[in-house]
Structure 1
Amino acid sequence: MRKWYRNSHYTIYNADSLEWVSSQRANSFHAVVTDPPFGLVEYTAKELNKRRRRRGGIWRLPQAFDGANRQPLPRFTVLNGHDRMGVLAFHLRLAPELFRILVPGAHVILSSQCLISHLVVEAFCMAGFEARGQIVRVVKTFRGGDRPKFGDKQYPNVSVIPRSCFEPWLLFRKPCQGRVVDNLKRFGTGALRRPSQDIPFCDLVEIPSARPVERLLARHPSLKPQALMRFLVRASLPLAKGVVLDPFMGAGSTIAAAVHLGLKSVGVELDPKYFSMAKSAIPKLAGFEINGSA
């Protein structure tokens, strides 16, 4: 299978993200918007293979609803000390390389999870990034809130972990060279693009999960809705110029958002199946209509 695909709008690679990022030139990207695999147990190759075979494992298999099977969901188990060190080590490798390949003032917008966000912040700050807070997406999902495995009937009034009703997107910035206005002139980075001239960019957004019709375009377990990705990608390039990178592309939702907005982008995905899915899904997601308008 071909290991990369390119057109006039974007380039995508089937490669190991950490290895690929380490091979890129310094100061060659203007933003990163990504939903990484977290480093949690749920996203190891072993557990993902169980999910594909619908064998469960750590992934929770929801009961059929109205005759339709629902997608498996991660349990987001509590991490032990070894798992936490693995998450930290992963981001300690990733963050310095992203710092190197980004231009001054570039932002990283990175999906996280409340169990590990403190580890991610530590790793990125150690690499030299400025922590710029987080963008909180209000969304009620089926993640968490479930009863004990094999104990649904015995303990019907118990939730093992709170049901997730928000999603944190961590925000980092590579330090600017001089003032923000100088950095904007030289690199086109250093700030976030407003939704409109009269509305400032805010750190709270309420966007529901991808609708079933959108999920049919890309059957990825962690597909983010285009409404969210277009909002984030647009914000990441304040002057609507430059190249946005997604080093954990999945089905290509970040790349599709960039295409829709007329922005340049690059994506990297390790899994050959998801890379193939992205090649097909990106044009469809880019043209997906939100609230009746593409």
Structure 2
Amino acid sequence: MSFPPGAIRDAIIEYLTVVASGATTEEIMGAVRVRLGEVPSSSIRSYLNLNTPTRFERLCRGRYCLREHVGEYKGEFVDRPIFPSETLGGARAFNADCFEWLAVQAERSIHAIVTDPPYGLVEYTEKETIKLRNGKGGIWRIPPAFDGHQRAPLPRFTVLDEADKVRLYKFFMKFGVLAKRILVPGGNVVIASNPLLSHIVSSAMVEAGFELRGYLARQVMTMRGGDRPKNAHEEFSDVSVMPRSQWEPWVVLRAPLEGRVQDNLRKWRTGGFRRISADRPFGDLIRSHPTPSSEKKIAPHPSLKPQSFMRHLVRAVLPLGDGIIVDPFMGAGSTLAAANAVGYRSIGVELDEIFFDMAKSAIPLLANLKVRNDD
């Protein structure tokens, strides 16, 4: 198979730009083949050898990085105490940039990822977070109060332009490359999204090397959509610009299997979803409700998901009940609390110090709550 001039070079450089702290020759080969298809190993090895040390640096036998990233190499990929952390029962929470944290973890050390990321990217920038905390709005829309209830702020993803969407794609491409390296074969990845952006999230993760396994529908009345035309609501009183959203999509992906499903389950304990019971499989439609006020008081995070839903989801992603779940965008710790509640080990990573401190106090309290089961 022939490739356009520079295709192998561009694929190698793009991957090593994402994995700044270095990668093995085998990892580089895998990343190049995800992008280009079957590429001879000799072509990749030759390019690395011919361009070392001018473009690449050989960190140790069989491991390379871009020369401009030499200072970012942290030695062997192990969980080392370079980030502030807290142990909370079976959970461990890190205050760190998740990309930096993912880059220094051991290969094939994690069994599942469950996360609700900042999939609009802009809503959790420092500028927009300050506006949110000061009640100033910004990209966060404050829904009107009615029927006696005050609604939580919602990010307005309709304001994203094409450049924002390109950045979103690149964000999840980078996340996917890093996540695929640390997941064992067959490991599940479940990512919260919304109907406007889920296609971008899923396509970027597939390009990073994951298998798309479908979508979970969290059936819940949201405050998205259903509005009349802005500044013309009386003129077009019978028109809604968008349907009122009554569900939330969660993208379901899987790291490629090693052999058949049963082979993967025997070796890695992953490759499917844990059944609810012997005669009831885990389903892709999950009835839910907005996060109760009792949970929001414990963890006043704008994207907090209810424990009833999170426990149902978290229990399912480890098919044999064994392994470690990671939430790279931990927020207030609802994933880790759910893992503690069902008896799983988990790790969370959160960049924002305020949310990290919130999670430290919230995780034990959320985990101990008795919750109603909507499903």
What corresponds to 1:163 in structure 2?
244
Match of 1:54 among 135, 146, 152: 135
Match of 1:131 among 212, 235, 238: 212
Report SS of the residue matched to 2:158.
Answer: coil
Report SS of the residue matched to 2:86.
Answer: strand
- Give the aligned residue type for 1:138: Q
Distance 2:88 2:300 in 1: 23
What corresponds to 2:118 in structure 1?
37
**By how many angstroms is 1:191 displaced?**
0.9
What corresponds to 2:176 in structure 1?
95
Percent identical pairs in the alignment equals 51
- CA RMSD in angstroms, aligned pairs only: 2.0
Greater mean deviation of Cα atoms: 22-31 or 74-83:
74-83
Going from structure 1 to structure 2, the CA distance change for 1:287 and 1:152 (only over 3 Å counts) comes to farther
Going from structure 1 to structure 2, the CA distance change for 1:17 and 1:149 (only over 3 Å counts) comes to farther
**By how many angstroms is 1:164 displaced?**
1.7
Deviations 1:242-285 (A, max 9, x none): 00000000110000000001110000001111100000000111
Match of 1:79 among 136, 160, 179: 160
What corresponds to 2:262 in structure 1?
181
Greater mean deviation of Cα atoms: 211-220 or 69-78:
69-78
Distance 1:149 1:276 in 2: 39
What corresponds to 2:287 in structure 1?
206
Report SS of the residue matched to 1:133.
Answer: strand
Going from structure 1 to structure 2, the CA distance change for 1:139 and 1:285 (only over 3 Å counts) comes to same
**By how many angstroms is 1:59 displaced?**
1.7
**By how many angstroms is 1:225 displaced?**
0.6
Deviations 1:153-199 (A, max 9, x none): 67655544332211111111111111111111111101100111110
If each structure's helix is expressed as a fraction of its own residues, which one has the higher value? 2
On the 8 A contact 1:76/1:144 being kept in 2, the answer is no
Report SS of the residue matched to 2:141.
Answer: coil
* 1:264 to 2:345 alignment: yes
**By how many angstroms is 1:217 displaced?**
1.4
On the 8 A contact 1:35/1:248 being kept in 2, the answer is yes
Report SS of the residue matched to 2:271.
Answer: coil
What corresponds to 1:10 in structure 2?
91
Going from structure 1 to structure 2, the CA distance change for 1:276 and 1:186 (only over 3 Å counts) comes to same
Match of 1:195 among 260, 267, 276: 276
Distance 1:272 1:148 in 2: 39
Report SS of the residue matched to 2:176.
Answer: helix
Report SS of the residue matched to 2:283.
Answer: coil
Distance 1:89 1:124 in 2: 10
On the 8 A contact 2:89/2:340 being kept in 1, the answer is no
Report SS of the residue matched to 2:191.
Answer: strand
TM-score scaled by length of structure 2: 0.73
Report SS of the residue matched to 2:190.
Answer: strand
Distance 1:284 1:82 in 2: 40
Deviations 1:18-63 (A, max 9, x none): 1111111110100000000103443333222211111122222234
TM-score scaled by length of structure 1: 0.92
Q: How does 1:218-257 map to 2 (within 5 A)?
A: 218-257=299-338
Report SS of the residue matched to 2:140.
Answer: coil
Distance 1:150 1:44 in 2: 29
Report SS of the residue matched to 1:106.
Answer: strand
Aligned positions, number: 291
Greater mean deviation of Cα atoms: 196-205 or 70-79:
70-79
- Give the aligned residue type for 1:277: M
Match of 2:199 among 70, 95, 118: 118
What corresponds to 1:20 in structure 2?
101
* 1:283 to 2:364 alignment: yes
Unaligned stretches of 5+ in structure 1? none
On the 8 A contact 1:74/1:143 being kept in 2, the answer is no
Structure with higher Rg: it is 2
Distance 2:206 2:138 in 1: 34
